[in-house]
């Protein structure tokens, strides 16, 4: 343990530094965060509801879209409500137990999301490149097992690093997490011991989850592009590409920011400039997800219109 460091049990809470140069505008920042959270909840809850209620959306593509919206709801709920309560109370603190819990669920949900995005790309590949075998390959039972696997494969790998972080000796003096939530790099920087091995483990796990799922996505869309090029009609090109454009937009945002943040050997030494990129994974992507899919998918738009008409008619 480093000189002057205290045992982990002496640290009962951390202070969250928040957003650099923005904490002075507390009212404005609270209003923006509240609006983002409400829009994210509303949009993703609508997607989940319409997918479950409308028979036209009972196929694997929309099944996975509903699961993705569930993950987005949970991911933002892990971070934003605590931030909002801190702004209201004026105390930017988080208990040690809450910090470790937030750490675990953030990375668990993020890993599950990347795995789900990879399977969504495989689903599009099978639908476009193997349409005759698609109903058998992506049956309801298969979709359920795939969704369950995404949750389990995100749940288990994160458990070990979380326990390791929880057992680290943290220095009580200056226990300020230089971030707006309990992210990996800022927490490791506070440890009163050498965290090189833990950082290397995090790097390997992040590379396996993020890079492997990205490669699956790239290969899937590579086959899709080749298949679409062979379609003789222009309308066929447009229909095939429109089904994938929204997914590609979300994938680009998600993977780009995650690779920048977590696929690096050392995270504790580069936390000061990372909060802007983290905003993409924690706020922007969950917010854009329902709008990207709803606004670019005619079937989803029609289902939403019908649902609103039914609600209005009932009143």
Rounded mean pLDDT, 189-195? 84
What's the per-residue H, E or C state across the chain? CCCCCCCHHHCCEEEECCCCCCCCCHHHHHHHHHHHHHHHHHHHHHHHHHHHHCHHHCCHHHHHHHHHHHHHHHHHHHHHHHHHHHHHHCCCEEEHHHHHHHHHHHHHHHHHHHHHHHHHHHHHHHHHHCCCCHHHHCCHHHHHHHHHHHHHHHHHHHHHHHHHHHCCCECCCCCEECCCCCCHHHHHHHECCCCHHHHHHHHHHHHHHHHHHHHHHHHHHHHHHHHHHCCCCHHHHHHHHHHHHHHHHHHHHHHHHHHHHHCCCCCCCCCCCCHHHHHHHHHHHHHHHHHHHHHHCHHHHHHHHHHHHHHHHHC
CA 46/CA 287 separation, integer angstroms: 12
Task: Tokens 């028979």: give the residue.
Answer: 55
The pLDDT of residue 98 is 93
Confidence of residue 281 (pLDDT cuts 50, 70, 90): confident
Tell me how far apart the alpha carbons of residues 267 and 161 are, in angstroms, rounded to a whole number.
14
> Six-digit token pair at 28?
């404005």
Tokens of 11: 């640290």
> Is the Cβ–Cβ distance between 11 and 165 less than 8 Å?
no
For tokens 């229909």, the residue is 239
Spatial distance between the Cα atoms of 188 and 200, rounded to a whole number of angstroms = 12
Place of tokens 């927490």: 187
pLDDT of residue 164: 92
CA pseudo-torsion sign 182, 183, 189, 191? positive
CATH topology of domain 8-314: Rhopdopsin 7-helix transmembrane proteins (1.20.1070)
**Helix/strand/coil (H, E, C) string of 147-166?**
HHHHHHHHHHHHHHHHHHHH
Q: Is 45 exposed, middle or buried (0-12, 13-18, 19+ CB in 10 A)?
A: middle
Residue 234's pLDDT is 60
In this predicted structure, the answer to whether residue 104 has a pLDDT above a threshold of 60 is: yes
pLDDT at residue 216, as a whole number: 92
CA angle in degrees (0–180, nearest 5) for 243-247-250: 155
Q: Once rounded to an integer, what is the mean pLDDT over residues 166-178?
A: 79
pTM of the model: 0.87
List, for residues 57-74, the tens digit of each pLDDT value.
Answer: 888 989 999 999 999 999
∠ Cα 300 304 309 (to 5°) = 150
- Name the band, by pLDDT with cuts 50, 70 and 90, for residue 23: low
Q: For residue 3, is pLDDT > 70?
A: no
Among 59-73, 221-235, 262-276, the least confident range: 262-276
């Amino acid at each position: 343990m480093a000189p002057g460091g205290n045992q982990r049990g002496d640290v009962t809470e951390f202070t969250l530094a928040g957003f650099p140069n923005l904490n002075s505008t507390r009212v404005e920042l609270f209003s923006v965060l509240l609006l983002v959270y409400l829009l994210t909840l509303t949009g993703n809850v609508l997607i989940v509801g319409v997918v479950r209620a409308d028979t036209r959306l009972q196929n694997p593509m929309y099944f996975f879209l509903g699961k993705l919206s569930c993950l987005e709801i949970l991911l933002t709920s892990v971070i934003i409500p605590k931030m909002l309560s801190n702004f209201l109370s004026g105390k930017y603190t988080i208990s040690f137990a809450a910090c470790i819990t937030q750490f675990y669920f953030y990375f668990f949900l993020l890993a599950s999301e990347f795995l789900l995005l990879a399977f969504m790309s495989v689903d599009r590949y099978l639908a476009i490149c193997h349409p005759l075998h698609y109903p058998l390959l992506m049956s309801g039972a298969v979709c359920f097992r795939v969704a369950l696997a995404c949750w389990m494969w995100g749940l288990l790998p994160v458990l070990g690093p979380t326990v390791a972080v929880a057992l680290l000796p943290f220095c009580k003096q200056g226990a300020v997490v230089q971030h707006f939530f309990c992210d990996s790099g800022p927490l490791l920087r506070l440890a009163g011991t050498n965290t090189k091995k833990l950082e290397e483990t995090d790097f390997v796990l992040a590379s396996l989850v993020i890079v492997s799922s990205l490669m699956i996505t790239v290969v899937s869309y590579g086959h899709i592009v080749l298949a679409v090029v062979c379609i003789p009609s222009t309308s066929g090109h447009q229909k095939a590409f429109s089904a994938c454009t929204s997914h590609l937009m979300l994938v680009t945002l998600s993977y780009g920011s995650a690779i920048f943040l977590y696929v690096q050997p050392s995270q504790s030494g580069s936390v000061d400039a990372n909060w802007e990129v983290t905003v993409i994974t924690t706020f922007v992507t969950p917010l854009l997800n329902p709008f990207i899919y709803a606004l670019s998918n005619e079937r989803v738009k029609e289902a939403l219109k019908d649902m609103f008409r039914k609600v209005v008619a009932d009143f």
